[in-house]
Amino acid sequence: MISGERYMPGAYLSGPMGEMLPVVPQPAAYQTPTEGFQELFPLELSAEGKRMPWTQLDPEDTANRETWDNLPKQMWYYPVKRSKELAITVATHPFVKDDAGKKMPLIATMPYGSGRVMFIGVDSLWRWRKGVGDRYHYRFYSQAIRHLSTAKRLGGQKRFMLDCDKVAYAIGDKVVLTAHLKDEKFNPLTSEKATVYISNSKGK
> According to the model, what pLDDT value does residue 174 have?
86
pLDDT digits (tens, 9 = 90+) for 154-196: 545 677 877 777 767 888 888 888 887 887 777 778 888 888 8
CA distance 75 to 114: 34
Are 10 and 29 a contacting pair, CB within 8 Å?
yes
123-154 pLDDT, tens digit each = 999 999 999 999 999 999 999 998 888 765 55
Residue 28: what pLDDT? 67
Q: What is the pLDDT of residues 34-93, one digit of tens each?
A: 665 667 899 999 999 988 888 999 888 888 899 999 999 998 899 899 999 889 999 999
Question: Considering only CA atoms, which of 135, 134, 179, 129 is closest in space to residue 159?
Answer: 179
Q: Quick one: three-class SS letters along the chain?
A: CECCCCCCCHHHCCCHHHHHCCEEECCCCCCCCCCCCCCCECCEECHHHHHCHHHCCCCCHHHHHHHHHHCCCECCCCCEEEECCCCEEEEEEEEEECCCCCEEEEEEEEEECCEEEEEECCCCHHHHHCCCCCCCHHHHHHHHHHHHHHHHHHHCCCCEEEEECCCCCCCCCCCCEEEEEECCCCCECCCCCCCCCCCCCCCC
What local confidence, expressed as pLDDT, does residue 55 receive? 92
Model confidence at 197, pLDDT cuts 50, 70, 90, reads confident
